[in-house]
Amino acid sequence: MSIQNLKEVRDRILPMFEAAAEQYTFRVPHGYPAVIDSADQGLVGLEIDPNFSLYITSDGEDLYAEIYRRLGRQDSQSSSSRQKYGGAPFQDRRPLPADVDDQTLRNLVAELKSRFNMQGGFFNFTDD
Task: Give pLDDT tens digits for 97-108.
Answer: 989 999 999 999
Q: What is the DSSP letter of 35?
A: E
Task: Give pLDDT tens digits for 45-57.
Answer: 999 998 999 999 9
What's the pLDDT band for 77 if we cut at 50, 70, 90? Answer: low
Contact 21, 46 (CB under 8 A): yes
- The amino acid sitting at 69 is R
Mean pLDDT (the chain) is 86
Side-chain half-sphere CA neighbours of 61 within 13 A? 0
* Bridge partners, residue 38, by sequence: 43
Q: Give, in order, the Cα–Cα distances in Å from 64 to each of 21, 26, 42, 101.
A: 21, 29, 10, 14
Q: Which of the two residues, 55 and 61, has the higher pLDDT score?
A: 55
